[in-house]
Amino acid sequence: MTANAGDLQIKPAMSVDYYKVDSKSTSLTGSEQDEIKVNEQVIKYTPSLAMVYESRKLNISSYAEYIKTQHKEEAETDSEFLNYNLTTDLEILADALNWRSTISKSHRVADSRLGSFSDEIVGSENLTGVTNLQTDLTYQIVSQHQLNLLANVFYRQTEADDTVEADLTDSNYSVNNFDTSAKGGSVTLGSGPLNQGVGWNVNMAVSQSDRANQEDYTQSSFSTDLDIPLSSSFGWVLNARIDKNKIDNDTALSDGLSYREYGTGLRWSFTRESYINLLAYRSKTGEQETQSYIGGEINWIPSSRSSLMFSANRNQFGENYQLDVNQNSRFFKTRASYSEGVDINSRRQFVSGVVGSFVCPIEAIDFTQCFQPTDPNYQMQPGEQQFDIIGQDIELNDEVVKFSSGALSLGYDNTRKLKLNISYVYSQQRGLEGLSVGNDRKTQSVTLAASYAISPKTRAVANLRRNENTYESDAGDRVDKNTSLSFFINKQLSQYLSTQIGVSRRERDSNAAGIESYDTRFNAQISYQY
């Protein structure tokens, strides 16, 4: 077809899995220990459909799968799930005005205390459907050599299903407590990269989140920077920032979440795009006394594929640090990030840093078909999605929280035989509204994923994941340790037919009521892509 008419690809597929599962769980009821052992056989059917439409102005990617399980021994645990994703990109004005919309539904654990690694085979009663709708309209000036303008308006809708089959007695999950719509916008205006005089930048953003069973939450920010050159390497910098977080009908807490500062100091540029700022600041939180401090920022870009940004300043709660490191080469990719702030979980799903090391076709089940982009600014193409490796740091609870999160990811892809990713994720949050018990939490997660090409049509895939969730409370901390290990062999039998066999084991150990569980599985799969 011509570029104007567009190109449409339709990829239906069908996979059938057989599982042999041995599981055991123990818990304490009073002074007695309860033990349940299950030997089960499960058949999983997964028909799916991927569609990609590409044209000069419009790109559409969609993927849908229906999952049905049949258990031989415990038919009451049979389950059905429908997952889907539809992404639309429309270029309204060439290189200037773009509209992007995504609607998706996936099933995830309602509360990590129910078992972080629950899935449709074991623990399906712990899953609930989460629907996300995102739509953005973005405008930018086509030629930004002298003036930079970027404006965006958005709408978000996040909602969890009304029912969860699991016993929620020891859970922090509440039905209808994760139903939030948000709308807002942002504007960035400043001098362009070719401007030789005074550099300046103004940023404004506002969002309003309507939480179904909680008070509305409004977040707004304003910042401005002025850079006056003193020589080819040095400049005088002035900046100011105002952050506000408003919770309706809670004036005291809202006042404590407002912050403003202004600073002035020197900028040293040691390459064309790299610099160090050192500034003296005056800051004020709510109605507290004004404080003085020294802060700064390092922005180092050694090459077009690598960058480092580090800043040290303050926010509503004291010292505040931000870090973002990207290193990309032909085979290796490294990313490190750290951030702190105030937000709600539904927004953090969209704006928080994610350790994503591979780009995959939308129909890919694992990352054997994926590749590692070397360009840090790589834009996802139609029919692609990012394969994220991240800890269970976001719960289905939309209380306003203070959070800090950090991640380190090391990726290797020699484009022929071996793909490897090692990641570490840390997050900590503290609930600020006091609406739910146990919302103060720390999470650490380590993930190892590897794929090796035994032959052009055969691959070995191994995954190891370990996370530790600590739920803090005055009555004593609850610590859940979860481990997942799997090894599979994938073989392409023909252009359309593939098969997979493997083994896996999942373990859970919690100090709450002596909860321990594990399941060991053998899995055989056959898949056909039409």
Does 266 score more than 50 pLDDT?
A: yes
Q: What is the pLDDT of residue 392?
A: 42
For residue 441, give the 3-state DSSP assignment: strand
- Give the strand pairing for 7-29 and 497-510: unpaired
Q: What is the pLDDT of residue 30?
A: 64
Q: What is the pLDDT of residue 503?
A: 96
- The tens digit of pLDDT for each residue in 34-70 reads 888 889 999 999 999 999 999 999 999 999 999 999 9
Compute the average pLDDT of residues 189-205: 88
- Give the strand pairing for 356-361 and 384-388: antiparallel
pLDDT category at 356 given cuts 50, 70, 90 is very low
| Percent of the chain whose pLDDT exceeds 70 | 86
Does 372 score more than 70 pLDDT?
A: no
Does 288 score more than 50 pLDDT?
A: yes
Q: What is the pLDDT of residue 386?
A: 54
pLDDT category at 362 given cuts 50, 70, 90 is low
Does 31 score more than 80 pLDDT?
A: no
172 vs 113, higher pLDDT = 113
Alpha helix stretches (DSSP H) within 110-152: none
In this structure, the dihedral spanned by the alpha carbons of residues 407, 408, 413 and 414, taken in order and rounded to 10 degrees, is: 170
Q: What angle do CA 314, 317, 321 make, to 5 degrees?
A: 40
Contact in structure between 336 and 408 (CB atoms under 8 Å)? yes
Q: What is the pLDDT of residue 436?
A: 67
- The tens digit of pLDDT for each residue in 441-460 reads 898 989 898 889 999 899 99
Highest mean pLDDT among 89-103, 331-345, 375-389, 502-516: 89-103
pLDDT category at 112 given cuts 50, 70, 90 is confident
Rg of the chain over Cα atoms, rounded to whole angstroms, equals 25
Q: What is the pLDDT of residue 458?
A: 93
154 vs 110, higher pLDDT = 154
Supply φ then ψ for residue 407, to 5 degrees.
-150, 145
Q: Is this model's pTM higher than 0.85 or not? A: no
d(CA 472, CA 206): 32
Q: What is the pLDDT of residue 389?
A: 44
CA 382 and chain centroid, separation: 20
67 vs 179, higher pLDDT = 67
127 vs 369, higher pLDDT = 127
For residue 417, give the 3-state DSSP assignment: coil
252 vs 517, higher pLDDT = 517
In the chain, what is the straight-line distance between the N-terminal and C-terminal CA atoms, in Å? Answer: 21
d(CA 22, CA 520): 5
Number of neighbouring beta carbons within 10 Å of residue 280: 14
Does 381 score more than 90 pLDDT?
A: no
Does 388 score more than 50 pLDDT?
A: no
288 vs 165, higher pLDDT = 288
Does 174 score more than 90 pLDDT?
A: no
Does 437 score more than 80 pLDDT?
A: no
d(CA 508, CA 80): 24
Does 2 score more than 90 pLDDT?
A: no
- The tens digit of pLDDT for each residue in 469-515 reads 898 888 788 898 999 999 999 999 998 999 999 999 999 898 876 78
- The residues, ordered by sequence, that sit 6+ positions from 379 with a Cβ below 8 Å of its Cβ are none
- The tens digit of pLDDT for each residue in 301-340 reads 998 889 999 999 998 888 899 999 999 888 888 999 998 8
